[in-house]
Amino acid sequence: MGTIWAIGKREFASFFNSPVAYLAICLFLFAIGAMFFWWEDFIDQGQTTMRTFFEWVPWLFIFLLPAISMRLVAEEKRTGSFEMLITMPIRDAELLLGKLLGASLFLVVTLVLTLAYPLVINQYGSLDLGPVLGGYIGLFFVGLAFLSLGLLASTWTKNQIVAFLLGAVLCAFFFGLHKFVGVFSPGLRDTVAVLSLSDHFETFAKGVIDTRGLIYCLSITILSVLIGTYSLESRRWSR
């Protein structure tokens, strides 16, 4: 546990030394701000609700979070500091969980920065706190799943751009799975919907904390860390 915390702390601190992280978070906040101010329907639905906000943020996450996670392992491999890290007494799973912890702390900071919107909306009519809380919890878990997919992509390459693109593709795939499948085979759509993050997220956005949704997000996270551990270990295999 101490090791995971040490790695997470270091990783979190290093985000604030990285222009990429600042840039990504600025673009993200700008995108939300732009929607908020210029797209009338975004809030003006005759009621004070954050529904549209919660529907759109996950789509932005598909680009934001892989940009945050792309460097986690890829950058260490490129600069060689990976050798230093991997020859310390750290289990491969601890290494990945530590990295994920650091990135999740950064996600929390990002989410806290968006709290301005519910606060502003609340000025124009009392906002129902339940759905907002549910929505934020949902965003955190979807974000966690996205970060872990991005982390997995980052273990496969030395190149951050490749890690970003792979991560974004993985996130988009899991998020909109049933939508893609629906295009090709409408019959399968509902079956696959269970495997699609966005379908689960719709219930979060309504303010319902759906355990199935949480479990699904956590499953993607755990699976990504497991596969990532496997990819790190493969380095130690012969030939």
Partner 1 sequence: MTGAPGSISIQKGDGAVTRATGSPMIEVLDLRKFYGDFEALKGISFTVGKGEIVGFLGPNGAGKTTTMKILTGFISATSGRFAVAGHDGFQESLELRRAIGYLPENAPMYPDMGVVEYLEFVAEIRKIPSSKRRARIFKMVELVGLGPMIRKNIGELSKGYRQRVGLAQAMIHEPPVLILDEPTSGLDPNQIVEIRRLIKDLGREHTIILSTHNLPEVQATCSRMIIISGGRKVADGTADQLEREGRQSSRFVLTARLPAGSEPYQVRTQLGALAGVTSAEEVGHGDGAHRFTISTSGSETELTESIFALAVREGWALRELRRDVVDLEQIFHRLTQY
Yes or no: say if 58 and 201 are a contact pair by the CB < 8 Å rule: yes
Minimum CB separation of residue 80 from partner 1 in Å reads: 3
- If one asks whether residue 83 binds partner 1 (CB under 8 A), the answer comes out as yes
Q: Which of 1, 40, 46, 80 touches partner 1 by CB under 8 A? A: 80
Q: Identify whether the C-beta of residue 163 lies closer than 8 Å to the C-beta of residue 238.
A: no
Tell me how far, at minimum, the Cβ of 30 lies from partner 1, in Å.
25
Q: Is 19 in the site for partner 1 (CB under 8 A)?
A: no
Q: How far is the CB of 97 from partner 1 (least distance, A)?
A: 14
- Stretches 11-19, 49-57, 60-68, 115-123: which one binds partner 1 (CB under 8 A)? 11-19
Cα gap 2→115, rounded to integer Å: 31
Place of tokens 């493969």: 234
Nearest to 167 by CA among 149, 181, 184: 149
Residue 17 contacts partner 1 per CB under 8 A: yes
At position 18, the amino acid (one-letter code) is S
169 lies in the binding site for partner 1 (CB under 8 A): no
Q: Does position 6 bind partner 1 by CB under 8 A?
A: yes
Interacting stretch for partner 1, rule CB under 8 A, among 4-12, 102-110, 142-150, 152-160? Answer: 4-12
* Smallest distance from partner 1 to CB 131, Å: 40
What's the distance, Cα to Cα, between the start and end of the chain in Å? 32
Q: Looking at residue 41, what DSSP letter applies?
A: G
Contact status: 231 vs partner 1 (CB under 8 A): no
d(CA 139, CA 119): 17
238 binds partner 1 (CB under 8 A): yes
CB of 210 to partner 1, least distance (A): 38
The distance of closest approach from Cβ of residue 85 to partner 1 in the complex, given in angstroms and rounded to an integer, is 8
Q: Is there binding between residue 91 and partner 1 (CB under 8 A)?
A: yes
The answer to whether 189 touches 198, Cβ cutoff 8 Å, is no
Q: Which span sits near partner 1 by CB under 8 A: 2-10, 106-114, 183-191, 209-217?
A: 2-10
Is 7 one of the binding residues for partner 1 (CB under 8 A)?
Answer: yes
How far is CA 145 from each of CA 1, 94, 214, rounded to the nearest angstrom?
Answer: 21, 17, 10
Residues that bind partner 1 (CB under 8 A): 2-3, 6-7, 10, 13-14, 17-18, 79-84, 86-91, 235-239
